[in-house]
A = this chain, B = another copy of it.
Amino acid sequence: MREHISGQYDNELGTIRAHLTEMAGLVERQLEHAGTALLQQAPEHADAVIRIDADVNRLEVVIDDLCSHIIVRRQPTASDLRFIMVTLKAITDLERIGDECSRIAKMATDLASRERVRERFTEFDDMTAGVTGMLRDALHAFFRVDTESAADVIARDKGVDRSYKAVMARLIPKMEQEPEAIRALLDLVWCARSLERIGDHAKNIAEYVIYLGHGQDIRHQPLETKQREAQNEPRSS
């Protein structure tokens, strides 16, 4: 009987992990489509982002329920509980990345219907590549509880923020010079902001990995502390 219950418990944990993997994969696909929609002004990719979003939202609710259920019914061990707590946080960030991808998709569709902005803002290539890599590596670090890779993801957010500032510093004077292109330029401003936010969410996921590995909350701490923390031996649980 005891073994039977423990088997159910393992099954439930496995189900949470499987759903989380599925949700993470969907959000990565959303980001890929959103990036293509933006960089290549390809509205069919924008449609794909919106289509996937319903599944992402559904999975957030399902995983949330499973986590609450396992905490109430199964009294998880401390280390399993830590995994469940960060899962609850990570799904919120994943869902918000999905929302930001949907915003980018809508802007990309808008942009495709407007007169094309002639100037090419290569900062968007950098930002898109930057946040796509951050999300991929944050998720990879999450599933392997790899605190060193997680610290690396956290450090890379500064680069995304730099690209964001750089593109804003070009977009704003452009708006002043070409007021007739303001709506298209404003769409680009929103896209830049959304990409920057996606970087923040990927950084959040990386921070949960450090907590998962060391049992310490490093949010709202300076970067040096985060890096030092990542180099420590994981605390046993």
- Which A residues are closer than 8 A to B by beta carbons? 57-58, 60-61, 64-65, 68, 71-72, 75, 78, 81-82, 85, 88-89, 92, 172, 175-177, 179-180, 182-183, 186, 189, 217, 219-220
Pairwise interchain contact A217-B61, C-beta atoms closer than 8 A: yes
Copies of this polypeptide in the complex = 2
Measured CA separation A179–B176 after assembly (Å) = 5
For the complex formed, measure the closest distance between the CB of A172 and the CB atoms of chain B, giving whole angstroms.
Answer: 6
For the complex formed, measure the closest distance between the CB of A91 and the CB atoms of chain B, giving whole angstroms.
Answer: 11
Chain B residues whose C-beta falls within 8 Å of the C-beta of A180 in the assembled complex: 176
Pairwise interchain contact B183-A172, C-beta atoms closer than 8 A: yes
Measured CA separation A72–B177 after assembly (Å) = 59
- With A71-B71, A175-B182, A182-B176 in contact, do A217 and B85 touch (Cβ < 8 Å)? no
Chain B residues whose C-beta falls within 8 Å of the C-beta of A172 in the assembled complex: 182-183, 186
Measured CA separation A141–B85 after assembly (Å) = 25
Name the residue in A71, A172, A189 with the highest tally of chain B Cβ atoms < 10 Å from its Cβ: A71
Pairwise interchain contact B175-A179, C-beta atoms closer than 8 A: yes
For the complex formed, measure the closest distance between the CB of A16 and the CB atoms of chain B, giving whole angstroms.
Answer: 15
For the complex formed, measure the closest distance between the CB of A79 and the CB atoms of chain B, giving whole angstroms.
Answer: 10
Q: A81 is contacted by which of B72, B176, B220 (Cβ under 8 Å)?
A: B72
Chain B residues whose C-beta falls within 8 Å of the C-beta of A85 in the assembled complex: 68, 71, 88
For the complex formed, measure the closest distance between the CB of A170 and the CB atoms of chain B, giving whole angstroms.
Answer: 14
Pairwise interchain contact A61-B219, C-beta atoms closer than 8 A: yes
Pairwise interchain contact B179-A220, C-beta atoms closer than 8 A: no
Pairwise interchain contact A72-B61, C-beta atoms closer than 8 A: no
For the complex formed, measure the closest distance between the CB of A109 and the CB atoms of chain B, giving whole angstroms.
Answer: 17
- With A72-B78, A81-B71, A92-B92 in contact, do A64 and B175 touch (Cβ < 8 Å)? no
Chain B residues whose C-beta falls within 8 Å of the C-beta of A186 in the assembled complex: 172, 175, 189
Pairwise interchain contact A220-B64, C-beta atoms closer than 8 A: no
